[in-house]
Structure 1
Amino acid sequence: KAIIPKGNKRMSMNPVTNGGSLAKHLEKPNPSDYALDNKDHGTTEGQDMMVLGAYIRDLIKLNSNNRNFRGFGPDETLSNRLNKVFEATKRQWMESTNPPYDALLAPHGRIIDSMLSEHMDEGLLEGYTLTGRYGFFASYESFLRVVDSMLTQHFKWLRNAHEEASWRADIPSLNVIASSTAFQQDHNGYSHQDPGVISHLAEKRPNI
């Protein structure tokens, strides 16, 4: 008994075990400020992910003091056309770098996408939200199939936490961005598209 932790020394008493209680307000830009002017057809060029990149860039800036927003992905932030994000931050990388070959790396970046592992990225985002912070996981829809069961397990956990642990505070949402969809036939469309993850999520009952 002498070595058993007591009181706040117990793991279950760590504040992050109820991460929702630690969540700080996320400052968000007004989405209307990023709307494209399309009243005259054929006069405006724009892409959904590039506009989203500008929104996320400004979101990161607004929350720079709290440092409570991150982006995760398997080395796809640029190929997903979220380029403007790097106007506000860099990829977090703690090791030495070799410029110019190691691009957009810094010890304090808000983007983690230097490991090509969808499992790792989804798991990192889960841990980040479970501890009361905000973020997104972006990947091609074909490769989101790699983690669709992880998404389902997170749904189950949320349901049980809500129904069986009323003391647990709500946590930030798990935001997943599916890019390169079946409606975008780019140069690698055939290999990077699979709308199955949408079907996998849409067929779930509302209470899940």
Structure 2
Amino acid sequence: MPNESLHDWLHSSTSTQRLSLLQRINILIDVAIAVNYLHNHCPITISHGDLKPSNILLDDDMVAHVGDFGLAQILGTDSNNNSTGVKGTIGYAPPEYGLGSEMRSSGDVYSFGITLLEVMTGKKPTDDIFNEDLSLHKFASMSLPDQVVNIIDDAAIVEQRTEVKAKKMEECLVSTIHIGVSCSMDSPTQRMSIEHVVHELQHILDVLQSI
């Protein structure tokens, strides 16, 4: 892809370009729509199994495309002999996969939630500050609702000229982090549905574009 991967934009030490807040939300919407298609609108239900920034590719228009389906599985089958055990990359794979659970669509939702938090904070789930006592999920959860601005990647925040606009932007940031936290809950049943994610992110984008 012409603009390489989302990982490159978030973490490249050589690039001087950084993603704006609107670009980040648009990319997250593109990915959520792709996952929603795989889970709910594809003729066969597919779990990607390895959703992470390095597998999200950006075209000329900065539209995000989900790639690398090497671990993907048609749900309800074991045709690729990969129905149980650890799947995905450490930090992005849901905890139940480490316990031998079968691949489920809720696993992709977890990976999406971690990816969203990485996009918004600029921190990888494997960064040195995270350990057994502190994860990216917990780091983000602890910031809700009053300290969210303090954990957002500086490049994503544009100073607003009026208090009203600043308040609206902060509310959008809180809502976005809330989505990431809700998607990356340890319990699969507590995770937000990907359809709800698409709806909520679109609402956030609409508000940001009106500021």
TM-score over 0.5 (shorter chain): no
Taking structure 1 as the reference length, what is the TM-score of the superposition? 0.30
TM-score (structure 2 length as normaliser): 0.30
Structure number, greater radius of gyration: 1
Going by fraction, where is strand more abundant, 1 or 2?
1
Q: Which has the higher helix share?
A: 2
